[in-house]
Amino acid sequence: MSDQLIVRGAPQTYECKEGILKELEDMLTERTVTKCLIIHGEKSLHAAKPFLPSFESVRVHYEKYRGECSLSEISRLREIIQKEEYEAVIGIGGGKILDLTKAVGTETKAPVILVPTLASSCAAWTPLSVYYTDEGQFIYYRYHTESANIVLVEPQIILESPVEYFIAGIGDTLAKWYEADVLIRGLNERPLAVDIAYYSAKTCEQVLFDLSSQAVEDQNKSVLSSAFIKVVETIIIAGGMVGGFGDNFGRIAGAHSIHNGLTQIEETHHLLHGEKVSYGILVQLVLEKKWEDVSKLITLYQELNLPYSLSDLRLNVEEREKIAIVAEAAATPAESIHLMDQKITAESVIEAIMSLEEYVAETIIRNY
């Protein structure tokens, strides 16, 4: 891992409160923006529309994205902005739309305003985009030289979003602690920025263990509680600060490599990103032989309905060839699992998956 540390800490302006989107036009006017492009999805615009201002002094054009943060889509939107001379770009939606908006902002030098409609990741906070082909295959990710100009979170929109995305966001954010811990804990000397990242990662773990079950229950009951808002902001702010301050020391390790391996088989395509990462955390912990943490997490996963066994992935122990495909992809030389302080092979990943399966079977039998 490179010793170079670049801090990309936060957006220039962040606010989370009911009614905040009604102030969006005034914020644009303060920044001398007179016309801007709004990138959205069909569902995301439907969710946000009731909360948006009427845009009387700022001219806006709504442009529906075509499904991916791809090079061709970035190019298409860049041409629209340059032709119409839009002075800012607003992204309304989930992670792919926010990533697309950040990428378009980088290409056009237009200020970026982000309005997340899901709390499924820290995409609203992090100056990074994940690039895909038009068919949805991962290509690479890219850091942006500038953070978003404005990030606005209307908690009522998140409250009304599908609960499975919120739960997946909790799972993805839990990984911030377990992956940062394995990368940071062995450092003899930590720069202050890495200390901030480590503290943020620990905050993710503490808040989510304390409040996530209550937050999910509140969302299911449509109750905009302090627990719900705190978990939403933990996903967006604390989750974003781990990588924002820790850079490569606060990014990804074993859990995301297992996620990447799982994407190689069709059986897991029904799972959201954060759900696959959640399972990946458990496999990473088995590799570390941290069974106490495994037990603690499984208890939480049972409350949240996150996957912790092969059956949750629509697999079983007899499907050794498919498990091998997952393990081999997770252990390829370029994968972040090799940032862990131990030698990892496809065979050791298979062994960890099978050990986890045995542990789950024994635990469930014992508890029932």
Domain locations in the chain as residue ranges? 13-159, 163-367
Annotated binding site for glycerol: 172, 256, 273
Q: How far apart are CA 366 and CA 295, in angstroms?
A: 13
Q: How is domain 163-367 classified at the architecture level of CATH? A: Up-down Bundle (1.20)
Identical fold between 13-159 and 163-367: no
Annotated binding site: 95-99, 117-120, 126, 128, 132, 172, 256, 273
Query: For position 1, what pLDDT does the model report?
Result: 55
Query: For position 137, what pLDDT does the model report?
Result: 76
The domain 13-159 is classified under which CATH number: 1.10.287.3510, 3.30.360.10, 3.30.1330.10, 3.40.50.1970?
3.40.50.1970
Catalytic residue numbers read: 172, 256, 259, 273
Annotated binding site for NAD(+): 95-99, 117-120, 126, 128, 132
Cβ neighbors of 208 (< 8 A, separation 6 or more) are 170, 173, 174, 231, 234, 300
Amino acid at 223: V
Cβ neighbors of 289 (< 8 A, separation 6 or more) are none
Query: For position 3, what pLDDT does the model report?
Result: 65
Dihedral sign for Cα atoms in the order 275, 279, 285, 287: negative
Q: What is the pTM of this model?
A: 0.94
Q: How far apart are CA 368 and CA 352, in angstroms?
A: 24
Per-residue pLDDT of the chain in tens (368 residues, 90 and over written 9): 556 899 999 999 999 999 999 999 999 999 999 999 999 999 999 999 999 999 999 999 999 999 999 999 999 999 999 999 999 999 999 999 999 999 999 999 999 999 999 999 999 999 999 898 888 777 888 999 999 999 999 999 999 999 999 999 999 999 999 999 999 998 888 999 999 999 999 999 999 999 999 999 999 999 999 999 999 999 999 999 999 999 888 889 999 999 999 988 989 989 999 999 999 999 999 999 999 999 999 999 999 999 999 999 999 989 999 999 999 999 999 999 999 989 999 999 999 999 999 999 988 755 53
Query: For position 19, what pLDDT does the model report?
Result: 98
